[in-house]
Amino acid sequence: MSILGISPAIMNGACSVAKTPEDVAALAATGVGAVLVGSITLAAREGNPEPRWYPGSDFSLNSFGMPNGGAEYYKKELPGMIKTVHENHKKFVLSVAGFNASEYGDLAQLADEAGVDMIELNLGCPNISVDGKQKPIASFDTDYIREILTRVNEKTSLPLLIKLSPYSNPAELKKVADLLASFPSVKAVVTSNTFPNSYVSNEGEPVLANVYGGMSGRGLQPIALGQVKQFRDALPAAIAVIGVGGIETKDDAAQFTNAGAEVVQAATLIVRDGHASIGALV
């Protein structure tokens, strides 16, 4: 049984090349079943300083910092983006990231008023600094997750996808799964975001200007698969699991489906190889 109605069950993940009308047009021209834009924030962001992307042999690091045009830009551009996606008979998902629960609510209201099909709440970005210090990652604070969901549900009744960081503690994963299951608006868990605070150096110098970055790509795949399987076992059948993490081929996608994912996302693949590369998964 399909919970999300995304067919084919392939979509892009939130990333640096899923932000503009041009990105949307390129993704809508592929065979995916849904196009995701974001993550977006209330205020426009330039993101972190360059270099902020490092492609390794079987992984990548990024510290993009969610560059995007902000709420005013997307109020203007979202209607056209949604029209493009719907004309290509695909679902439209908007990924949002607030700096507090109120901002998540405001962004959810923006999404609702624009007419998106689903909202992804990005609770796992590790690459944001506030006053020079790394912003705490919402995925690891259940009280904060509850506050965010409560505020978002005051603003919209749209289906919610919850994007989370990978959990090394299975008890913590189960606690989060139980919390999400208590909110009927939650229709899917997206697992997993990049692995936080990863580091690579070149002759002793960090390869990223921000020093630390989120790890993604094929090297993350066994961890991502483990997250999918654990969440599938922990969640009720009415909540889908969306798998993401190192998916580059149909065989990779099948691994995630076999582990319990209803839908799979690809992000590193299209950042590295371009939007059309996601067509290899369909």
Question: Which residues does the annotation mark as catalytic?
Answer: 125
List CB contacts of 203: < 8 A, sequence separation 6 or more: none
Amino acid sitting at position 36: L
Residue among 72, 65, 74, 69 nearest 47 (CA): 65
CA distance 189 to 7: 17
CA distance 87 to 91: 10
List CB contacts of 190: < 8 A, sequence separation 6 or more: 13, 120, 161, 162, 163, 164, 242, 244, 265
Residue among 98, 100, 96 nearest 36 (CA): 96
Amino acid sitting at position 218: R
